[in-house]
Amino acid sequence: NAGVTQTPKFRVLKTGQSMTLLCAQDMNHEYMYWYRQDPGMGLRLIHYSVGEGTTAKGEVPDGYNVSRLKKQNFLLGLESAAPSQTSVYFCASSRDSDIQYFGAGTRLSVL
């Protein structure tokens, strides 16, 4: 079982460039989440989804968009990257309000 897989693992962007982070889960979970983690801070929720075709804003959604076209995939997009978006991004999935399963993270640097 792969669990939650994030691609890519590392990425360097220039200011203004765009990119998409992919999250895939093989546990048939309804709920999926995107977080960012900055030094000395816990995880902050960017966007989440409660099922295929649905998305909702989290705590820090500005500058990001998401899509959940297939139940197993949750995409996070940055249309015009900014240095403030330099962070480690984590995807997670869950069956309900209990345990969340996390991917290994994507380290993004925006220069």
Partner 1 sequence: SQQGEEDPQALSIQEGENATMNCSYKTSINNLQWYRQNSGRGLVHLILIRSNEREKHSGRLRVTLDTSKKSSSLLITASRAADTASYFCATVTYNDYKLSFGAGTTVTVRA
Binding region for partner 1 (CB under 8 A):
4, 31, 33, 40-45, 48, 50, 58-59, 90, 92, 94, 96-105
- Nearer to partner 1 among residue 43 and residue 78 (C-beta): 43
In the complex, the smallest distance separating the C-beta of residue 82 from partner 1, rounded to whole angstroms, is: 22
Could you please report the per-residue DSSP string of 27-61?
A: S--SEEEEEEE-TT--EEEEEEESSTT--EE-SS-
In the complex, the smallest distance separating the C-beta of residue 80 from partner 1, rounded to whole angstroms, is: 26
- Nearer to partner 1 among residue 78 and residue 90 (C-beta): 90
Which among 65, 109, 58, 61 has a CA at the least distance from the CA of 84?
A: 109
Q: In which residue are the tokens 């994507």 written?
A: 106
- Nearer to partner 1 among residue 5 and residue 17 (C-beta): 5
Which among 83, 68, 75 has a CA at the least distance from the CA of 20?
A: 75
